Every structure is written in C-alpha cells, then in structure tokens.
Amino acid sequence: MKQILAFFLTFISLLVWNCASVEKVEPRKIEKIMKVHAGGGLRLRISPNIEAKKIDLVPDGDVVETFGEIGEVEIQDGKQGRWVKVKWKKKDGYVFGGFLEFINVK
C-alpha cells in the first residue's frame, strides 16, 4: 500500500512540476507590412540563408507581415538587404529583404 501511495505522490508531483514549467509564448508583434517586389516572386525559406530549403514562392505584389531583420547586410541578385522573418498565408519563414517594399497601412 505504501508503494502505491509513494508512486501516486511521485506521479502527481511530476505532473504538477511539468505543467508549471511550460513556457508561455507571447504573441509576436508585427513590425511592418511589406509588399514583395521581386519580378517573379520571392522564395519563402525555412531559415535565413540562400541555401535553405524552400517553403513556398510568394508572388510578386503579395504582402507579408514582418517580424524583424536577421544577420548582416548581403547582396542577392543585385539587391542589398538582410533576411527578414515573415508570415505569409499562415506560413512562417524567411525572405531576402532586398525584394521587399514598405507599404503605408493606415
């Protein structure tokens, strides 16, 4: 009986400790709404790197929500910029910022 009680108390303690250690995820704050200006679409990638796996192609003229720039300034296809964390159609990823254009949303 003592073993069952000890097991039960251990189980409850682990359960409570595990629930208490779950991190709260704060909602991200959108920095800017930007339009793709790439003349053929812009590749959405899983990480901020030209060699990273492609998630999708964001069509030219579509808008993305941005969540900050990452890394050093680079030049890609004659455009200068940094990689930008974005959300497009419920997909999160990175695009090269040299092909983004700020739009004023009121």
Q: What is the pLDDT along the chain (106 residues), one digit of tens a residue?
A: 666 655 555 656 555 555 544 444 455 677 889 999 998 999 999 999 999 999 999 999 999 999 999 999 999 999 999 999 999 999 999 999 999 998 876 5
Measured CA to CA, the distance from residue 68 to residue 45 in angstroms comes to 15
pTM above 0.95, yes or no: no
Sign, Cα dihedral of 38, 41, 46, 49:
negative
Q: What is the separation, in whole angstroms, between the first and last Cα of the chain?
A: 68
